[in-house]
Structure formats: C-alpha cells, structure tokens
Amino acid sequence: MKIFLGGIAALVVGIILLVFWWWDFITMIKGLIPVILLVGGGFAAYSGYDEIKEKLTAEPEKFESTFETKTAETSTESSEVASDKPEEKKPVRPRAARAPRKGGPKKKEA
C-alpha cells in the first residue's frame, strides 16, 4: 500500500513540475535528440560494416535450385535428347473392385 501511495504522489508531483517547467523539459528533449541520433547512427553503421565484413569472409553458399529452375532444366534436357522412336509408356491397369466384407468384427473367444 505504501508503494502505491508513493507512486500516486510521484505522479502528481511529476505532472505539476512538468506544467511549471514545460519549456525547460522541451529544451532538454531538444538536447537529447542529437545525442540519440549520434549513438543510434553509430551503432547502425558499425552493425552494417560488421555484416558486410562477415559476408566477404564467409564461404559462398551452395546454390539450391528452385522449382522453376528444375522444371526449366528438365524441359531443356528432354528437348535436347533426339531419338527416332518415341518414349514407351507402361500401360496402367485398372484395379479390380473388391467385394465388401461380410459380417461384423470377429469376437474373441474366452
């Protein structure tokens, strides 16, 4: 309960002081903006430099062919192979229809 009342008191005092010192607060924010931009920009530049350096020293990744390149390769391969006779396809036999089971599930004898 003491923490709750202390928080409420700090909130009220903070609002009152913000109203009285509004222009000083704005001046402080104006001073912090360039510092934040300098630190953030430096961090971003260092991070980008580190990433580029890592890519240059890393081994080249293996090329994984995608579906589009695989289909393009297979279509060119089949057209490049010249043969006098067409490819033979195995005939597809239709499956025979099965008779339905008779009776229900078997009962176990005890």
Which residues fall within 8 angstroms of residue 73, CB to CB, at 6 or more apart? 65
Structural domain that includes position 33: 22-58
Residue 16: per-residue pLDDT: 95
DSSP-assigned states of every residue in 3-66 = HHHHHHHHHHHHHHHHHHTHHHHHHHHHHHHHHHHHHHHHHHHHHHHHHHHHHHHSPPPPPPP-
pLDDT tens across the length of the chain (110 residues): 999 999 999 999 999 999 999 999 999 999 999 999 999 999 999 999 888 888 888 766 665 666 665 555 555 555 555 556 667 777 777 777 777 767 666 666 65
Number of folded domains in the chain?
1
Residue 13: per-residue pLDDT: 96
CB 18 within 8 A of CB 25: yes
Residue 67: per-residue pLDDT: 62
Phi first, then psi, for residue 37 (nearest 5°) are: -65, -40
Residue 77: per-residue pLDDT: 52
Rg, C-alpha atoms of the chain: 39
pTM of the model: 0.40
Residue 83: per-residue pLDDT: 58
Q: Is residue 39 part of a domain?
A: yes
Sign of CA dihedral 94, 99, 100, 106: negative
Residue 62: per-residue pLDDT: 62
Q: Is residue 93 part of a domain?
A: no
Residue 38: per-residue pLDDT: 97
